[in-house]
Every structure is written in structure tokens, then in C-alpha cells.
């Protein structure tokens, strides 16, 4: 897991994950509020619940995303704080952390 590959069948990978590229607006909400349900990453379906970290600031979430975007061979665009704040708005209104 330290190499971003996840845990086969349980935890989706971050290294080379198509989800990061295809659904960037969902990532800040997952970090803050967690995720429950099915998620498909690189053709594999995952259903493990992911706990959110409510106490993280928007700035910290931006830094985490930018780390993920550039770690483990990922070459995804850097996101800006304002962009993350915009992505978090609907999440803050609709999703209650669990």
C-alpha cells in the first residue's frame, strides 16, 4: 500500500487510478466525508467503506490531492485551492460524514 497499489480486491489503488483522472471532482469529498458504495477503479469494483477525515482543512485536502497526483508515477494536473473549494461545496451540502 505504501507504493500506491492499494490492497487487492479491498482498497483501490491510487497509482495509475483512472478514477482520479475521470472523477477529480469526487476526490475532495471522498477525503473529507468518506465513501460508501461501489466504486470502479481500473475496471475493478470495490465496495469497502472509506472513512472521511472531517477535520482536514480545504488547504490540507488540496495538498493531499496534489501529492496523489504526482506520486507513484502519476502525472495528473495540480489542483488549486479554489478549485477544491468549489468541488467541496456540493459535498458539504449533500453528504454527512460517517
> Which pLDDT tens digit goes with each residue over 41-78?
999 999 999 999 999 999 999 999 999 999 999 999 99
Question: What's the pLDDT at 83?
Answer: 97
> What pLDDT does residue 14 have?
95
Residue 65 C-beta-side C-alpha neighbours within 13 Å: 31
On whether the CB atoms of residues 24 and 9 are closer than 8 A, the answer is no
4 neighbors 41 (Cβ within 8 angstroms): no
| Architecture label for domain 18-94 | Orthogonal Bundle (1.10)
Query: What pLDDT does 3 receive?
Result: 87
- Give this prediction's pTM: 0.88
- How many Å from the N-terminal Cα to the C-terminal Cα in the chain? 23
Residue with cell 473549494: 85
Residue 7 pLDDT more than 80?
Answer: yes
The 10s digit of each residue's pLDDT in 26-37 is: 999 999 999 999
pLDDT at 93 over 80: no
Give kind and range of the element (H or E) at residue 87.
helix 81-94
Domain boundaries, the chain: 18-94
Amino acid at each position: 500500500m505504501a507504493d500506491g497499489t492499494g490492497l487487492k480486491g479491498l482498497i483501490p489503488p491510487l497509482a495509475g487510478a483512472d478514477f482520479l483522472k475521470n472523477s477529480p471532482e469526487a476526490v475532495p469529498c471522498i477525503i473529507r466525508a468518506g465513501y460508501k458504495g461501489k466504486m470502479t477503479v481500473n475496471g475493478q469494483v470495490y465496495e469497502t467503506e472509506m472513512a472521511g477525515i472531517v477535520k482536514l482543512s480545504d488547504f490540507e485536502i488540496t495538498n493531499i490531492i496534489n501529492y496523489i497526483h504526482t506520486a507513484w508515477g502519476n502525472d495528473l494536473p495540480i489542483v488549486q485551492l479554489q478549485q477544491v473549494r468549489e468541488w467541496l461545496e456540493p459535498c458539504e451540502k449533500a453528504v454527512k460524514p460517517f
